[in-house]
Amino acid sequence: MSRERREALLLRPAPIVQVVLVVQQIRECRNPNDDKFLEAAINGRAGIILSGDADLVHMHPFRGVSILTPGDYLQSA
């Protein structure tokens, strides 16, 4: 794939992507590798995290953020 094509593909989601600056670090998940998702949600003021990761789902709700599996989310919608 050409460089131009790769760059064009990377720009497609740009209108719906929000870069989140992490000013509040979080170290609370039983799996430390998942703290980055909590940081993105809290610092980005998200209302929900959709995940099939048991370590994250176990924390539902976290500081006002719902953490649901995709199936649970669809059932609640």
pLDDT tens for 35-67 read 999 999 999 999 999 999 999 999 999 999 999
Give residue 10's pLDDT. Answer: 84
pLDDT confidence band for 32 (50 / 70 / 90): very high
Report CA-CA distances (Å) from 69 to 3, 5, 34, 47: 36, 34, 15, 14
- CA atoms 77, 64, 70, 75: torsion sign: negative
Give residue 71's pLDDT. Answer: 95
Calculate what percentage of the chain has a pLDDT beyond 90: 78
